[in-house]
Chains A and B, each alone.
Chain A
Amino acid sequence: MGVLRAGLCPGLTQDMVQLLRSRGIKTVVDLVSADLEEVAQKCGLSYKALVALRRVLLAQFSAFPFNGADLYEELKTSTAILSTGIGSLDKLLDAGLYTGEVTEIVGGPGSGKTQVCLCVSAHVAHGLQQNVLYIDSNGGFTASRILQLLQARTPDEEEQAGALQRIQVVRAFDIFQMLDMIQDLRGTVAQQVTNHMTRDRDTGKLKPALGRSWSFVPSTRFLLDVTKGTGASDSQRMVCLMKSPRLPTGFQEMVDLGTWGTSEQSPQLQGDHT
């Protein structure tokens, strides 16, 4: 969008483009914001034609307003909440991952971010019977681990195979490959991303990486922290809600990485599997 050229919209001929360009009007924005009377005089074009052209360009390139009631109707049918398969995590996320939103997992190395992704993928593919697109940019995805997780959920090999088929894995090691992948996605999805931790330059405190500009993008963010102290086993993690559009932040839950492979402890979720 931008530069005026012949055929950009109905009524815009090459001659018009040349005449406009000779008077400094090169882009759509230039034309739309110009005083059309002045332009008509200077370029020798018909005022009526310019007005019509402006109207067509605006109709073609500006965004169309939606009515709130209509949008609500549409969202009621198309929004879904995907349970993560981990009871305590679902509590933190107010039932699960919402479609149309980005949820960010933050944690230091070895905190279990990839484990969470694998576990959620297995649950969504097998428990919820939905498709998963797994974009791997750091080589953390191993098919054998997914198979392990699925084997712990069901002994039926056909079910396992069915779930594996619903998971599509793409390896993207630079930002352009990743953007390419995301551009081809259609339909409503719930997105889950992982992020590393870094230290704040001034205070030395740990904070999520990628800076402030990224921090505004996800709607929900939770932190995975390795729990220290006596009595805490190696596989336990503390999950803390850092940002949420619908729950107060600061809530914490304990999860155990070791039990993630097995069928959920919570009785509600077990009911879903039958």
Chain B
Amino acid sequence: MCSDFQRAESGTELLARLEGRSSLKDIEPYLFADEDSPVHGAILEFHGPEGTGKTEMLYHLTARCILPKSEGGLEVEVLFIDTDYHFDMLRLVTVLEHRLSQSSEEVIKHCLGRLSLVYCSSSTQLLLTLYSLETMFCSRPSLCLLILDSLSAFYWIDRVNGGESVNLQESVLKKCSQLLEKLVNEYRLVLFATTQSIMQRTANSAEGPSCASNRPSDAELDYRPYLCKAWQQAVKHRIFFFKHDDSNTSNQFSLVSRHLKSNNLRKHFFIIRESGVEFC
């Protein structure tokens, strides 16, 4: 149901909910480890240390969505939730300008009109905002993509506020995860959420994440799940990001995409140019 209000759905709302949302299958095939998995109702987590290209990938996906069909985009709406004030509008505009065949202020503004931005400064505010955004998802069938950068921004603050009890520390994020799962499933959205690698594995693991190794299993060597179980269960794909440190001025990156149920792994390389992410 649209909201807690005890009223019947109007005809248009019913159609919007069922018929709906255009397929995001072509949004970026490289990110999905399992080609057969449905894209609707998917939750993908981007995980990696800083400077590995997670936010750039989000700009790439946003551009893919908001560009008009005539320019190779999907012409759908995007909602970007920013929790650490890292969203760089000017960078997104640069990416759009490079991808448009004829870029003018008019066209750029038209594309940006399909993007909505929300800033949250605490996990409680994030939870309340998700509740109030429900009406937005309900009434706008062209809103297909939800981006959350990043989900782990309040981790330490929540731990401090929760006192001694782990349950209390995790309670708000748990509610957020459950609500996100519900919204994504009910409104058939796709959610990309980033989490930062703020935890370190103990010294037992010899190789760090920065080596350009070819074995996909190295991806998980430094990974230590620290967010609540409810989130771990909601994620369908986990994508690890790496930066290659071999050359001095490198802009070579790679990602390893893992489908959590089927355990399929895919590895891809990409570079970052002025025009954004480019897969090799």
Interface residues of A (CB under 8 A from B): 1-2, 28-29, 32-33, 36-37, 47, 51, 54, 57-59, 61-69, 71-73, 75, 79, 100, 201-203, 212-213, 215-217, 219, 242-243, 245-246, 248-252
Contacts and interface: CB of A to CB of B under 8 A. Distances in A.
Contact of B79 (A1, A2, A65, A243): A65
11 contacts: A61-B124, A62-B128, A62-B133, A67-B117, A68-B113, A68-B116, A69-B113, A201-B203, A213-B156, A215-B50, A251-B249
B98 interface: no
Contacts of B84: 216-217
B68 to A, nearest CB: 14
Interface residues on chain B, size class = 35 or more
Contacts of A65: 79, 116-118, 133, 136
A216 B149 CA distance: 12
Given A63-B120, A212-B197, A216-B50, A72 B251 contact: no
B131 A58 contact: yes
B114 interface: yes
Contact of B128 (A28, A51, A73, A250): A28
Contacts of B118: 63-66
A246 to B, nearest CB: 6
Given A68-B115, A248-B250, A219 B129 contact: no
B4 A51 contact: yes
A243 B50 contact: yes
B132 interface: yes
Contacts of B112: 67-69, 71-72
A249 B249 contact: yes
A73 B129 CA distance: 24
A75 B132 contact: no
B196 A212 contact: yes
Given A243-B51, A248-B249, A248-B251, A63 B125 contact: yes
Q: Which of A37, A250, A251 has the most CB of B within 10 A?
A: A250
- Lowest 8 CB-CB distances: which A-B pairs, in order? A68-B115, A68-B112, A250-B249, A62-B129, A248-B251, A62-B128, A62-B132, A58-B132
A250 B250 contact: yes
Contacts of A245: 55, 86, 88, 91
Nearest to B250: A250
A121 to B, nearest CB: 24
A65 B143 CA distance: 13
Contact of B124 (A2, A58, A64, A212): A2
Nearest to A212: B198
**Interface residue SS majority, chain B:** mixed
B131 A62 contact: yes
A2 to B, nearest CB: 7
Contact of A61 (B125, B249, B250): B125
Nearest to B206: A202
Contacts of B4: 36, 51, 54
Given A58-B131, A213-B198, A66 B90 contact: no
A28 B132 CA distance: 13
A65 B126 CA distance: 12
Given A51-B5, A71-B89, A75-B90, A249 B51 contact: yes
B132 A212 contact: no
B251 A33 contact: no
Nearest to B83: A63
B119 A67 contact: no
Nearest to A219: B86
Given A32-B128, A63-B120, A68-B113, 11 more contacts: A1-B124, A58-B128, A62-B131, A62-B132, A62-B133, A65-B118, A72-B93, A215-B49, A217-B84, A219-B86, A243-B51
Nearest to B78: A68
B248 interface: yes
Nearest to A248: B251
Interface string B57-84: 0000000001000000000000100001
A250 B250 CA distance: 7
B179 to A, nearest CB: 8
B38 to A, nearest CB: 27
A252 B120 CA distance: 36
B89 A29 contact: no
Contact of A32 (B131, B247, B248, B249): B131
Contact of B113 (A1, A67, A100): A67
Nearest to A1: B124
